[in-house]
Amino acid sequence: MTVLAILPARYGSTRFPGKPLTPIAGKPMIQHVWERTRAAKSVDAVVVATDDERIQAACEGFGAKVEMTRDDHPTGTDRLAEVAARYDHDVIVNVQGDEPLIEGFVVDAAVEALLRDDIAAMSTIVHRAEPKAYDDPNRVKVVLDAAGFALYFSRAPIPYRRKDLGIPPLQHVGLYVYRREFLLEIVTLPRSPAEMTEELEQLRALENGYRIRAAEIEGWSSVPVDVPEDVPIVEAALSALEGRRSDP
């Protein structure tokens, strides 16, 4: 079973143009994602997928392999599938280029979740959300069933707290693992109503009856970079992480 990790990186983000090249702790954000993804033991190869020559040049400058794609893809999943079709790996990992705090063991957990469950078409990662994430539309929430499969993803606060049981909601991490055949199939289906409403591509799989297995990670949390204000938060988190690693 071979595993390819693809990092989609688009320059023309509506909320944050040029986001993949934003300096974070002295490196372009996409470099942090690339270095951390390469630490995953389950991944055989890592490539960056982009349609922008500026991102291509920056990535090749720090040693990443880059696959250039069309510039008219409606979603990141379509960009991913274009690159996956050029390779024959069994499993494709989609690590979003705005997840600079991703860890190798998190990628490994997502791959393991897919491989151990034959009925899952894809898998992803969740963790307990911080209180402020519940009402933040940039932090995607998810509700799981008793077996650990996703019921729904939303930018809205779900589940609605008619009763507060003191159980933190689950936050979704921008990381997906696909069986290659499923990835190439899902992009042939039309964008679904909930997907377009929420602007969450994983909802297309749920709306078409596919199962998404979720692995919950404890003791780690994601801080995706959605807007410029997220950059200092990530830099502080990286600094704290390095400080803990340097302690004797």
Per-residue confidence band for 74, with pLDDT thresholds at 50, 70 and 90: confident
The pLDDT of residue 18 is above 80? yes
Q: How many CB atoms lie within 10 A of CB 40?
A: 23
- Mean pLDDT score, 111-136: 94
Per the DSSP assignment, residues forming a β-bridge with 144 are 150
Contact, 122 vs 182, CB < 8 A?
Answer: yes
Nearest to 154 by CA among 213, 198, 190: 198
pLDDT at position 201 is 94
Q: Does the bond joining 20 to the residue before it have cis omega, within 30 degrees of 0? A: no
Compute the distance between CA of residue 46 and CA of residue 107 in angstroms, rounded to an integer.
Answer: 12
Quick one: what percent of the chain has pLDDT higher than 70? 97
Domain range 3-239, CATH class: alpha beta
Compute the distance between CA of residue 22 and CA of residue 16 in angstroms, rounded to an integer.
Answer: 9
Compute the distance between CA of residue 31 and CA of residue 226 in angstroms, rounded to an integer.
Answer: 17
The C-alpha angle with vertex 68 and arms to 84 and 44, in degrees rounded to 5, equals: 45
What is the reported pTM?
0.91
